[in-house]
Amino acid sequence: MNLFAEAIAYLLDPANWQGPSSLGLRILEHLTFSGAVLALAAAIGIPAGVLIGHTGRGRGLVVALTSGARAIPTLGLLTIFGLALGIGLEAPYLALLVLALPPVLAGAYAGVESVDRATVGGARAIGMSERQIVLQVELPLAAPVLIGGVRSAALQVISTATLAAYVSNTGLGRPIFQGVKAGDYEVMLAGALLVALLSLAVELVFQALQSAAARRAEPTAVPARATARAPERNTA
């Protein structure tokens, strides 16, 4: 319990939030780095997943990739990349990309795949182009599941991005590794607590995004607004 009190005292000490070793800077680094990983994972995974879901081609690829990637230990991957690429951000960036891509891809694919085929067929039959079907029908309807994929990727990346400090002195991994090395366990714990809090905060943001998307995809499932069933007119 003593260690916890010390860690909290460390977090509350204004001195630790100033200067070049400020915890605020570490949080910023951590978020920027995680964000950069997620951005590329989304830029590759969402179009690829949407395309596979839309065309139905390459389903096997998604399954193989998502289940296969789950078995890859990120620390091992990071070590391999680190040995190949040396000290710096490249190795952890790549290792985290491998971690983030499968859930993003799977979410995008599963979201589009789950859109009722009759709805898509109807949209096509009345004259929507394939592009319009993707943008105006499949994406809005797939958005909750798609965002769910990004959300789980974001959580994994943020918690695992601590490993970046293993080969480059950056992010919230820095106080953790530093605390371990120097035997300053309250510093280590303070870093770990910040990672946990950051994950929670990001989780809340994505939760809000996801429910906003769900409201758009299924406007009638919202209990709030005036959504009472239309009175049956006796003509139909």
Residue 165 near residue 174 (C-beta atoms within 8 A): yes
Query: Among 158, 170, 132, 139, which Cα is nearest to 41's?
Result: 158
d(CA 26, CA 17): 10
Residue 49 near residue 104 (C-beta atoms within 8 A): yes
Chain position carrying tokens 């070049």: 20
* Non-local CB neighbours of 87 within 8 Å, separated by 6+ positions: 167, 168
Q: Is the Cβ of residue 133 or residue 154 nearer to other proteins in the bound state?
A: 133
- With CB under 8 A as the contact rule, the residue among 125, 183, 223, 224 that binds other proteins is 125
Q: Is the Cβ of residue 15 or residue 236 nearer to other proteins in the bound state?
A: 236
Determine the interface stretch with other proteins among 98-106, 113-121, 160-168, 192-200 (rule: CB under 8 A): 113-121
Q: Is the Cβ of residue 137 or residue 187 nearer to other proteins in the bound state?
A: 137
- With CB under 8 A as the contact rule, the residue among 55, 114, 132, 211 that binds other proteins is 132
d(CA 129, CA 124): 7
Q: How far is the CB of 227 from other proteins (least distance, A)?
A: 6
Q: How far is the CB of 229 from other proteins (least distance, A)?
A: 6
32 binds other proteins (CB under 8 A): no
Number of residues that bind other proteins (CB under 8 A): 29
Q: How far is the CB of 230 from other proteins (least distance, A)?
A: 5
Q: How far is the CB of 178 from other proteins (least distance, A)?
A: 50
Residue 61: strand, helix, or coil: helix
Number of other CB atoms surrounding residue 160 within 10 Å: 21
Burial class (CB in 10 A: 0-12, 13-18, 19+), 153: buried
Q: How far is the CB of 205 from other proteins (least distance, A)?
A: 23
Q: Is the Cβ of residue 101 or residue 143 nearer to other proteins in the bound state?
A: 143
Q: Is the Cβ of residue 2 or residue 235 nearer to other proteins in the bound state?
A: 235
Residue 171 near residue 33 (C-beta atoms within 8 A): yes
Integer Rg of the chain from CA: 22
Residue 1 near residue 187 (C-beta atoms within 8 A): no
230 binds other proteins (CB under 8 A): yes
224 binds other proteins (CB under 8 A): no
Task: Give the footprint of other proteins on this chain (CB under 8 A).
Answer: 116, 118-119, 121-129, 132, 137, 140-141, 216-220, 227-230, 232-233, 235-236
